[in-house]
Structures are given as C-alpha cells and as structure tokens.
Amino acid sequence: MKQTEPRGFSIPELMIALSVLAILTLMAAPSVLTTSRNSQIRALATSWHDGLFQARIEAIQRNAQVTFCPGVPSSSADWSLILTAVNPDCQSATPFRQYNAGSTLSSNVQVSLPNNASATYDGTGRMAPLNGKFVARFTNSSGTCVAAGGQMRCLSVEATGGYVRTCDPSAAAGSPLSCKAGG
C-alpha cells in the first residue's frame, strides 16, 4: 500500500505563524492609532476651514454680513452660519447653515479659541472689522502635538482679512504650511 504524504500545516507551524502575526499586529497598532487621530484632527480642521470660506462666499452672494459661529452649546452643530443683520448673537440666532462632524470625531478633537470667538464677513468678502483675525487650534484629547515633542499632527485654522488657511504649528518657519506669527 502506497503511503500518502500529509498535506496542510501542523499545529506547531500554525502556532508559530499566529504568534508572528500577533507580534506584527501589536507593533502596528500604535501607528494605526496615531494615523487615525491625525486624520480626525485634519477632518475637523478642514470642516472649519470650509465653513469659514463658505461664510465669506455667502456674505458676497447675499451682500450682507454673515457670521461663522463655532459650536454653539444649545446646538449639536460643530459650526453654523448666521445672518448678522437678523441677529448678531451666535448663541440665540437661527442659523441658515450648520455642520456636524459627528459626536465621535468632535469628542476626540479639542478645539481652542478665544472666548465667544466668531468670524464675520461683510458683503465684499472681507472680515468685519477689517483688522479682524480668527484663529482656531485643533489638537487631540489624548495626545501631544509634534511641536511639543509628541506624535499628534495638530493644526490651526486662521482667517484674516478675506483669507482662510489651514496651517501646521510644527512646520518650519519658511514652509508654506507654517502658521503666521501669533497664529
């Protein structure tokens, strides 16, 4: 009788392969988590950048003052747009446009800005007052920024005059990604 050779893997071979796979997964997990947190910061900063730009466009189209209101406590929105002539108060005005990035995204990203910060654009697309400046800093609630020696890629959104830009506080001074002085 002809004896056939066994096919497949033996138990020790499978255990070794699974052990190597587990070690590789454990080594990759921190990098995947950092990448995920960085993309959450980028997504919310981009949303605010787009919201500020949209406020400017709406002000030009309507030839009226439009205000960008960051996360109003009475609303679940991350930001909203209001017509300043109707009601200039972000807390009580009825917005004509809102954006909500989702509770998971919003809870993982911290936004720091001055008290009662908002950005108002006039009918020409310039910030009102003309010397106005709006700066929002986006960090992760469980990490340290690269600029402070950590792994998180923190971002800032700056609006001055009629321009809106997203910048990286850890970028070198001459880089196009760097934040302006004080931003």
Q: What is the pTM of this model?
A: 0.77
Give the pLDDT score at 105: 58
The answer as to whether 4 is a domain residue is no
- Looking at residue 63, what is its pLDDT? 94
Give residue 183's pLDDT. Answer: 44
CATH number at 163 reads: 3.55.40.10
Residues 144/150, Cβ–Cβ less than 8 Å: yes
**Does the pLDDT at position 2 exceed 80?**
no
For residue 92, being part of any structural domain is answered with yes
The amino acid that residue 174 corresponds to is G
The range of the structural domain enclosing residue 131 comes to 12-167
Q: Does some domain include residue 123?
A: yes
* Residue 174 lies inside a defined structural domain of this protein: no
Helix, strand, coil distribution of the chain in percent, nearest 5: 35, 25, 45
In the predicted model, what is the mean pLDDT of residues 102-120? Answer: 75
Q: Between the ranges 56-60, 68-72, 93-97, where is the mean pLDDT highest? A: 56-60
Report the Cα 67 to chain-centroid distance in Å.
20
DSSP secondary structure code for residue 120 in this structure = E
Edge-first strand listing for the sheet containing 155-160: 109-112, 133-140, 155-160, 163-167
Q: What is the mean pLDDT of the chain?
A: 82
Contact between 163 and 183 under an 8 Å Cβ cutoff? The reply is: no
| Residue 105: φ, ψ to 5° | -65, -45
Answer yes or no: is 105 within a domain.
Answer: yes
Q: Can you give the pLDDT at residue 103?
A: 55
Which two structure tokens, joined as six digits, stand for 137? Answer: 């800093």
> Does 20 reside within a domain?
yes
Tokens, residue 156 = 């800032």
16-59 pLDDT, tens per residue?
A: 999 999 898 888 777 777 788 888 888 888 989 999 999 999 99
The residue ranges of DSSP E strands in 84-141, in sequence order, are 97-99, 109-112, 119-121, 133-140
Kindly state whether residue 133 falls inside one of the protein's structural domains.
yes
Is residue 115 assigned to a domain? yes
Q: Order of strands across the sheet with 66-70?
A: 97-99, 79-83, 66-70, 119-121
- Rounded distance between C-alpha atoms, residue 55 and residue 160, angstroms: 13
Query: What's the pLDDT score for residue 59?
Result: 93
Kindly indicate the confidence band of residue 75, based on its pLDDT and cuts at 50, 70 and 90: low
The domain tally of the chain equals 1
Question: Is the sign of the CA dihedral 24, 142, 139, 50 positive or negative?
Answer: positive
pLDDT in tens, 148-175: 777 788 899 998 888 899 998 888 888 8
